Amino acid sequence: MVLAAAVQLEAELGDVPANLAACERLADEAGRAGAQIIALPEFFTTGIGFAESLATAALPPDGAATDLLTSLASRHRALVGGSFLCRDADGHIRNAYLLADPGGVVGRHDKDLPTMWENAFYTCGDDDGVLSAGEHAVGAAVCWELMRTQTVRRLRGRVDLVMTGSGWWSIPRWTPHRLFDRLERNNAATARHSAASFAQYVGAPVVHAAHAGSLNCAMPWVPLQYRGHFEGATLIAAADGTIVAERHADQGEGVVLGEITLQRQQSRLDPPAGFWLHRRGALPTAVWHYQRWHGRRWYRRHVAPQAAPSPR
């Protein structure tokens, strides 16, 4: 058995120094408690929302985010991972999950598909997310990768541990309140269930770090302000899907600790035949499509490297 920790963060949107400092404080708390595995959330450097400031908040692969992960791993003799907006040498930004041990970075996974307005800030990855950490294989999966059957196919039966993080936001309380309240209850339940049940699909324990707190930002192409919150669902689950430890969103920022066994097992759930592991609901489905279309155009215009003009 090893002691694992998952960090629940209340990020300052786009404020990289403040978020790095908060992550270091929380990860140090986990390390002092004896955690040998420490997971930071997705977008631990910036938080996530539709904010133009994120277009210039990406860090290089060898920048401050990587320095934090490697220093925490060395300081606490632990396995430490988390994802951040990373601008690579080709000029493109990716949602890069880096994993470090006391010797340095041991692997990287780039999230396969941006979710909704995330399309405005980074492009797709195509690796399998199986990372080698000493004698163990670690699977990396980020947020809505936990919702897709293709993630199960690339990790199932191949890893001893899954490290993941999310920045899963709520459905706003628009009118009619009764309808949107019901949609949000379902959304919150899916956030929690997708993290815990993923262990059963893959046959390995899951350490899932997440964001909590409020989020206010613009809405793409809609004359409304998004006002909501992050779902949290920070938890540690055993390979059979049993939740070992959990921190709910309304508990705010903090660390959850739990003991797990790093060992792959026969998966308990077979993925469905389609693309999605879980039902998204009508509103998230519609938003997925319109914000993906908008975001990809916005990324090409404002974020992606621009081709040099041809000589006349």
Q: Structural domain boundaries of the chain? A: 2-302
The confidence score (pLDDT) of residue 223 equals: 87
Contact 38, 30 (CB under 8 A): yes
| Residue that wins the pLDDT comparison between 38 and 309 | 38
Q: Would the pLDDT of 124 be above 80? A: yes
| Residue that wins the pLDDT comparison between 227 and 281 | 227
The confidence score (pLDDT) of residue 156 equals: 96
Residue whose entry in the numeric block shows the structure tokens 């797990």: 260
Give the side-chain half-sphere CA count within 13 A for 244: 22
| pTM for the model | 0.96
| CATH match for 2-302 among 3.30.9.10, 3.90.1150.10, 3.60.110.10, 3.10.20.30 | 3.60.110.10
The confidence score (pLDDT) of residue 311 equals: 56
Residue whose entry in the numeric block shows the structure tokens 């921190």: 247
Mean pLDDT on 227-244: 97
Instruction: Please state, for a pLDDT cut of 90, what percent of the chain lies above it.
Output: 95
Tell me which of 106-110, 146-150, 253-257, 305-309 is least confident. Answer: 305-309
Mean pLDDT on 242-265: 97
Determine the Cα–Cα distance for residues 291 and 79; give it in Å rounded to an integer: 35
Give the side-chain half-sphere CA count within 13 A for 113: 17
Contact 156, 277 (CB under 8 A): no
